Structure 1
Amino acid sequence: MIFNGVTSSCFPSSTGLGASFDVDLAYKVGQALADECRAKGEYKFRFASIHADRSHILLAPTVNTQRSPLGGRSFESFSEDPNLNGLIAAAYINGVQSKGVSATIKHYVANDQEFERFSISSDVSERALREIYLKPFQLALKHADPWALMSSYNRVNGLHVSEDKRLLDDILRKEWGFKGMIMSDWIGVYSTAESIKAGLDLEMPGPTVMRGRAVDRALIAQKLFPSDIDARVRKILELLQKALASGIPFDAPEEGVDTPELRQLLRTAAADSVVLLKNDKNVLPLKLDESVKKIAVIGPNAKFAMTSGGGSARLLESWTVSPLEGIKEWVKGAGNSAEVNYTIGVTSHKYLPLLSSLTFQEDGTPGSVLEFWNEKPAKDFMDLNPDMSANIASPAWGCTTKVTNIMLLDGVDASKVDPSCYIRYTTTFIPDESGDWELGLSVSGTGNFFIDDKLLVDLSTDPPPGNIYVGMGTAEVSNIAKGLKAGQKYRVEIRVSNIEMVKKGLPFAFWGGLRFGGIKVVEKEEAFHEAVDLAKGSDGVPDKLLFSSWESEGFDRDDLELPGLTNRLVSEILQANPKTIVVNQSGSAVTMPWIDEASTVLQAFYGGNELGNGLADVISGKVNPSAKLSLTFPGFVRQPTATDSMKRLEDVPSYPSYGGKGQEPGKILYNEGIFVGYRGYQIKNLAPMFPFGHGLSYSKFDYSGLKCTPISSEGNFTISFTITNSSQVDGREVAQVYVHQPQASLPRPVREMKGFIKVTLKAGEGKEVKVDLDREALGYYDERRMCWVAEMGKFEVSVGASSEDIKLKGTTELGESLTWTGL
């Protein structure tokens, strides 16, 4: 449920789960998510049929290839590598469905940017489509059996996927043997007869727009026949049979899940998604001995838990642990008396931080009150004058809420409230710091913001358009409330009209929304000096950089830079205290112009409920980091010379044909072909800042004894080698197997990861491990013959700790060429 739903568990973002390289963990996360689904009941309000399905159907996982780190939804997919993407997805799906809940693999296919996402045509060669973008879906179907699949919004080579028979029927069903139900993305159906004939079973959401009565007319015109309808209905009924067999009730109360086992899994997943990028001076793990007197935690949002990127991936978490809370709890639990001090340093938000924790009802209960009217409740309700008529009408319906970001797609009594409604939001705002506060508002439709009966923000007079609520909201407009006192009560009233949005035409029932945020105004130079001074006098300095508001469904990033003055802050803190531990939290790659100055860097991704504890576990050494980057991190050189590798956005293989840049109108050209991610850097001999698969440990691992069996006539072979933990610290290592064919009819990547294994080793322990591979590791897609081909000849096999850190090399040989279609 999007509004006022029961709280749920938030696991690490998919890039973090992908970075774990841990199929067992992905399976357990899938099982836990299934438990959450089973706890959800049916809702009595509008959209009941949709959200009740979420009890039986999980709308995940996303396996779109991370073509560019600029993608607004990059954090929702597992990797830039199709093999890692598909195999983690398969384990996740198997975990979900092991408990009778359907997984929905999405968004099929080439849905890799948010710019013009409903209309853009992803123009991609057949070879790249097969080897890069379809491959994770193919692997997930091969190693799991998802009961549902979601088509994407976009076109592929000119035709919308939701009406593309070749993609939905010829490839997915006939070639790959998919037996499940195909649903559309929300409002992702643009035709009636075409989508039905193509194989799209279910239009989402309801009530239908492109089907229903439109189908009657298509039947009369014989554009459709009853057999076409039967085929679509059959798939829906087959999924319904599985839902009935699951034992999940259709009309149960909605409940949450909170057990010690779940809390531990969330904490484990958070820690296992943290990548140790640098530890040059062995600052980590940070030991709390008597010499540690002060620890500074510096950076925007370190005292807030940024659990996920934005958009439909967001949820109301059952609990959260911020980095500051996690570090304080670790210090307290260790029995150390060290001071843990915090300062913001800089602000880096795109939208003002939400104020849910600082809002209260009149009786002191956390939260606020919402009232709804179908007609203007008073003549001057939407006027800029704060004094409304005393004869305000009684509301048609009302409720309370604990959040200050309210998207009313559900949770409203549709029998009493129309989408063309008026809304009043009232709460008591109690600042936690004295000073001037910047308070801001964005709404769907028009609105005004009053504090203590004084107009602060006017969004009723020509409101600027914005990106919130998937483009249906205004931009955030803010103003300064001067001289607020910590602990003092301030009455906030926000009035909203959703009528203008309804007039524009809504794709589904939507009662509007509002987002209320704020932050104490901080003088930039003063904050800088405070942060630097704090760093100078501290023994341990975790420096946290968070910016989830910059990564969200609905828009793509403009660049790879950390926002605002963050880079300057990091550089100055590193100069003040070289032992600073820099922790970057982002859903995908960012540049780090200070990287050479930093000895200790962690990449945390979005860590879910337990991100603070998971991070503290890694910093303290309670957990030995074992994650590896699931995508390449390009870098940046401030003043590059002619001999420098240009480590910047221009190095990303999809540059400049991405988003709204470098494209023909209405289409985006996938000019890089199969050379996506690390494949593109290697073919151009460009060294990224951190390569795909990179990640350090507190242990040291040695590789030896590579053996490659001959390739069988069916394309099967085994790679074996020994990994030894030559340190005094127990740890886990992710070994990656890359394959290359030196002599081939078509250009092949320098290396392609075709297998991986995660090994747990005690100090001094060695293990021989095996990775079984098949023809998938050998083949390329031949567009001329429309089939997969593995050419006879020698294949180079490389085993490494990353795509660039190759430890062992060997060869094997295929005696006769193979061709095949299907799985």
Structure 2
Amino acid sequence: MFVFRVSRPTERYCSLGPNGVRGTQFFNGVPSSCFPSSTGLASSFDLELAYKIGEALGDECRAKSCHILLGPTVNTQRSPLGGRGFESFSEDAVLNGEIAAAYINGLQSKGVSATIKHYVANDQEHERFSVSSELSERALREIYLKPFQIAIRKSDPWALMSSYNRVNGLHVSEDKRLLDDILRKEWGYKGMGLIMSDWTGVYSTAESIKAGVDLEMPGPSVVRGPAVLRAIQAGKLCTDDVDDRARKVLELLGKAHESGIPFNGPEEGVDTPELRQLLRRAAADSVVLLKNNAGLLPLSAPTSIAVIGPNAKKAMASGGGSAQLLSTYTISPLQGITEAVKAINSQVNYAVGATSHKFLPLLDALIKQQDGTSRALLEFWNEPPSSDFISPHADLSLSPKQSVWDTKTSTSNCILLDGVNAEKVSPSCWTRYSTTFVPDESGDWEFGMSVAGIGNMFIDKKMVIDQSTNTKYLESYFGAGSTEVRAIVQGMKTGQEYELEVRLSNAEFISRGPPFPSWGGFRLGGIRVIEGQEAIQEAEALAKTSDVVILVIGLNHDWESEGFDRDDMKLPGLTNDLVFKVLQANPRTVVVNQSGTPVEMPWIDEADTVLQAFYGGNELGNGLADVLFGKVNPSAKLALTVPKRLEDNPSYPSFGKKCQEYGKVLYNEGIFVGYRGYEIKNAVPLFPFGFGLSYSKFDYSDLSCSEISSDGKFSVRFKITNSSGIEGREVAQIYISDVESSLPRPVKELKGFVKETLKAGETKVITVFLDRDALGYYDERKSSWIAEKGEFVVLVGASSADVRMKRSIELKSTFSWVGL
């Protein structure tokens, strides 16, 4: 029998993804490149770009001495409300799987293991450790397993992560049918083929080992280790079971040795002109042009530009949770637009207009230490450094005894999962955070603090926020921290320095049994108090006196994050009021919505010009500016259907905490997910799947198809012409419709796509090769895929709703198959 034990250093060789390489530390880590969110990347429909991003992530993994990247995420976009929806690619299995495969191939070309996740039907955050996704075998196969199947066939990821949830009552980490019968036997997922759990996602010893989970994460093991020996003694496991699991770990370890990436090597960042250019290209290529009715875009030498909105001044580079990372740098929309117009001397003015935060914005840009070397000092003690250290009435004029360890940090968001010297700081500890706060605007300021433990915040030695006497939990810190408590400090002055201190004890947090080993933590935020209508009026006045308005609105990592789902599709706060008022003040307004998943747009009929920008990574501001001013011709298409209202989404009302039945969420829509559901009900969405405009115009012609071979292979051939005077790129989409079927099928399904660059006036002949997957559906009665003889229709177009050409083809004989 192999003797194998996972300890915490095993995590040293993994890094969170999928839109960046966090590195070894959640707190105070080495800064990383942040690429666009997965919904943005998928909306590019660009396999070459996905491959190049995979390569870049591989280079950064190597620089950080990281052997395994925990990505990509290929869970199906079932509802707009999914908290981690921005981390997954699409509602469509083909687009999801194809983009994932390209990403994986690029990453693994650098000798770094991908970890495709979260297998499977892990589509909501509410009760994610226990909820049972209740769905039919056909829906499981055609919608939820399919992107994993495609990616495994086309890229062979070296690792796979099982999900937290149950599927039809059984935790995936204990489901031998899913992990062994389907994944390893039916699909032939062998090679490296390591299966690891999600973090704390193993709930049993013998059951998870027999099911096929090779590695419990994180270490040290909780349900394995000594428990495995007890299970062997009891006859619940045999040594072969353990050997099979250990063998997979050792095989991946051998692959890691072959990569040449050092173990316990240095951790460095990557920042080159080539990487910055790729980040900028990725940001621009993920921007979808939704409306350009008045021909306002691309902008041409405006004399004055008003940049307005809550997402304009701060770079919303990523969604939240484990996907969020410390970026090497970020370019906000305001910065990108200002830089873009320097050469033409356009005047750029800014107004916030409305706020959209759920938690007050971090203080990172407004804090510093007196010596200017970093932004804050964090000190630790293993026992109370003074009798009143956590008291609201603590005497801050008295210096506590010498700390056992200290570190400097650049952030006011200190999630102390790591980055702390465990040899000096005990699990239960006391912490002091000290810095100087320098406001950038005069007025009353509102501060907010949430804690993992108990603590207080002081400004100029006076307590401002009490989180030590009546702390309320279960909101922050992955659901185990406190609510945010807020307080106002009046009459603060621009540029004046204020002493800011936080004192914290994590003992209460530790006693409550946190989900992850941790030294506790806290989050500080603050913003000048802004009266809502006054801010809107200021934005209106600026819009009226400007040649063009660029209104940047949307969500941020407060609203789309790990650990919770959205309650609705509404934009936060007074955002919609702001949009209506600005559009009335100046019709020459470009509305830029930035979100990882769809939002309601009640003002859409009043807006002539609308862009969907997603979370664009480091270069989101420059990428957006490139599209606005025509340096880049937009070519992205929506990877998600945008409904007019939440009730139109096929998953409604069977998603989230309000719709569960005793720990179960019923996938009542079956296979009719995303555009399939809208079309079968003839419900018109706000913007259909695959939709996106260009500054060019493209015409389609001359569709032809080869005969279908006996094993289901055929080709589709057509022409695309750029009939405009500007070079552009077009995403042509191939859908298949089964005219008559034994079982209900979608009106049509995406089965292929191609992205082509065409010069002005150029025509290209496009050939797309398809196979049996384009024809078949899953037959639960026979436990196999089946393609039924008869007529199929090939549909080619610019979106799911913009079909330009059709042609019938015939499959002469029915056939079935099992496996990849």
Aligned to 1:138: 149
Superimposed CA distance per residue, residues 534-578 of structure 1 (whole angstroms, 9 cap, x where no aligned partner): 001111111000321211011100000101110010011001111
Aligned to 1:558: 567
Aligned to 1:300: 310
Tell me the secondary structure at the aligned position of residue 469 of structure 1: coil
Tell which deviates more after alignment, 389-398 or 589-598.
389-398
Superimposed CA distance per residue, residues 34-78 of structure 1 (whole angstroms, 9 cap, x where no aligned partner): 01100113xxxxxxxxxxxxx000000000000001000000000
Contact 1:22 1:758 survives alignment (8 Å): yes
Q: Distance in 1 between matches of 2:361 and 2:660?
A: 35
Matched letter for residue 522 of structure 1? I
Matched letter for residue 467 of structure 1? E
> 1:391 Cα shift?
6.3
Tell me the secondary structure at the aligned position of residue 289 of structure 2: strand
Matches within 5 A, 1:716-735: 716-735=713-732
Q: Distance in 2 between matches of 1:79 and 1:390?
A: 56
Q: Distance in 2 between matches of 1:591 and 1:717?
A: 40
> 1:663 Cα shift?
2.4
Matched letter for residue 665 of structure 1? Y
> 1:653 Cα shift?
0.4
Find out whether 1:247 has 2:256 as its counterpart.
no
Contact 1:781 1:788 survives alignment (8 Å): yes
Matches within 5 A, 1:673-712: 673-712=670-709
Tell me the secondary structure at the aligned position of residue 705 of structure 1: strand
Tell me the secondary structure at the aligned position of residue 582 of structure 2: helix
Superimposed CA distance per residue, residues 557-615 of structure 1 (whole angstroms, 9 cap, x where no aligned partner): 00001011100100110011111000000000001000000000000000000000000
Aligned to 2:38: 14
> 1:222 Cα shift?
0.9
Contact 2:697 2:724 survives alignment (8 Å): yes
Aligned to 1:169: 180
Matched letter for residue 117 of structure 1? R
Aligned CA RMSD, in angstroms, stands at 0.9
Contact 2:164 2:171 survives alignment (8 Å): yes
Tell me the secondary structure at the aligned position of residue 661 of structure 1: helix
Superimposed CA distance per residue, residues 184-239 of structure 1 (whole angstroms, 9 cap, x where no aligned partner): 00000000000000000000001100000111110110101110000000000000
Q: Distance in 2 between matches of 1:506 and 1:621?
A: 50
Aligned to 2:110: 99
Matched letter for residue 613 of structure 1? N
Aligned to 1:501: 509
CA change 1:389–1:324 in 2 (3 A) is closer
Aligned to 2:650: 653
Find out whether 1:394 has 2:402 as its counterpart.
yes
Superimposed CA distance per residue, residues 121-160 of structure 1 (whole angstroms, 9 cap, x where no aligned partner): 0001000000000000000011111000000000000000
Superimposed CA distance per residue, residues 327-355 of structure 1 (whole angstroms, 9 cap, x where no aligned partner): 000001xx222210000001110111111
Which residue, 450, 457, 464 being the options, matches 2:472? 464
> 1:362 Cα shift?
1.8
Matched letter for residue 562 of structure 1? L
Find out whether 1:64 has 2:61 as its counterpart.
no
> 1:739 Cα shift?
0.4
Matched letter for residue 130 of structure 2? S
Which residue, 737, 744, 750 being the options, matches 2:747? 750
Gaps of 5+ in 2: 1-24
Aligned to 2:757: 760
TM-score w.r.t. structure 2 length? Answer: 0.96
Q: Distance in 1 between matches of 2:264 and 2:403?
A: 28
Q: Distance in 2 between matches of 1:248 and 1:793?
A: 54
> 1:683 Cα shift?
0.3
Superimposed CA distance per residue, residues 724-780 of structure 1 (whole angstroms, 9 cap, x where no aligned partner): 000001000000000010100000000100000001000000101011100000110
Find out whether 1:623 has 2:623 as its counterpart.
no
TM-score w.r.t. structure 1 length? Answer: 0.96
Q: Distance in 1 between matches of 2:331 and 2:617?
A: 9
Superimposed CA distance per residue, residues 442-472 of structure 1 (whole angstroms, 9 cap, x where no aligned partner): 1101111111111111111221224322112
Contact 1:380 1:388 survives alignment (8 Å): no
Q: Distance in 2 between matches of 1:6 and 1:384?
A: 35
Contact 2:480 2:515 survives alignment (8 Å): no
Q: Distance in 1 between matches of 2:62 and 2:715?
A: 40
Contact 1:467 1:555 survives alignment (8 Å): no
Q: Distance in 2 between matches of 1:508 and 1:558?
A: 26
Q: Distance in 2 between matches of 1:759 and 1:650?
A: 36
Tell which deviates more after alignment, 379-388 or 211-220.
379-388
4+ residue segments displaced more than 4 Å:
none
Aligned to 1:787: 784
Contact 2:738 2:792 survives alignment (8 Å): yes
Matches within 5 A, 1:520-669: 520-548=528-556, 549-635=558-644, 648-669=645-666
> 1:513 Cα shift?
1.1
> 1:702 Cα shift?
0.3
Matched letter for residue 531 of structure 1? A
Superimposed CA distance per residue, residues 15-52 of structure 1 (whole angstroms, 9 cap, x where no aligned partner): 000000000000000000001100113xxxxxxxxxxx
Matched letter for residue 322 of structure 1? S
Aligned to 1:310: 320
Contact 1:71 1:114 survives alignment (8 Å): yes
Find out whether 1:189 has 2:218 as its counterpart.
no
State the number of aligned residues.
793
Superimposed CA distance per residue, residues 236-272 of structure 1 (whole angstroms, 9 cap, x where no aligned partner): 0000010000000012211000111100000000000
Matched letter for residue 719 of structure 1? V
Tell me the secondary structure at the aligned position of residue 719 of structure 2: strand
Aligned to 2:667: 670
Q: Distance in 2 between matches of 1:166 and 1:79?
A: 26
Aligned to 1:817: 814
Which residue, 430, 446, 453 being the options, matches 2:454? 446
Matched letter for residue 593 of structure 1? P
> 1:388 Cα shift?
4.6
Q: Distance in 1 between matches of 2:707 and 2:399?
A: 87
Q: Distance in 2 between matches of 1:482 and 1:308?
A: 32
Superimposed CA distance per residue, residues 81-100 of structure 1 (whole angstroms, 9 cap, x where no aligned partner): 01000000000000000010
Matched letter for residue 418 of structure 1? S
Q: Distance in 2 between matches of 1:221 and 1:348?
A: 57
Aligned to 2:337: 327
Contact 1:443 1:513 survives alignment (8 Å): yes
> 1:800 Cα shift?
1.0
Tell me the secondary structure at the aligned position of residue 238 of structure 1: helix
Aligned to 2:135: 124
Aligned to 1:642: none
Q: Distance in 1 between matches of 2:407 and 2:554?
A: 33
Gaps of 5+ in 1: 42-54, 636-647
Q: Distance in 2 between matches of 1:689 and 1:585?
A: 16
Matched letter for residue 731 of structure 1? G
Contact 1:378 1:388 survives alignment (8 Å): no
Q: Distance in 1 between matches of 2:643 and 2:677?
A: 12
Q: Distance in 2 between matches of 1:746 and 1:504?
A: 51
Aligned to 2:482: 474
Q: Distance in 2 between matches of 1:535 and 1:149?
A: 50
Tell me the secondary structure at the aligned position of residue 196 of structure 1: helix
Aligned to 1:24: 48
Find out whether 1:113 has 2:124 as its counterpart.
yes
> 1:786 Cα shift?
0.5
Q: Distance in 2 between matches of 1:507 and 1:438?
A: 30
Q: Distance in 1 between matches of 2:694 and 2:398?
A: 67
Tell me the secondary structure at the aligned position of residue 323 of structure 2: coil
Find out whether 1:88 has 2:107 as its counterpart.
no
Aligned to 1:204: 217
Matched letter for residue 298 of structure 1? I
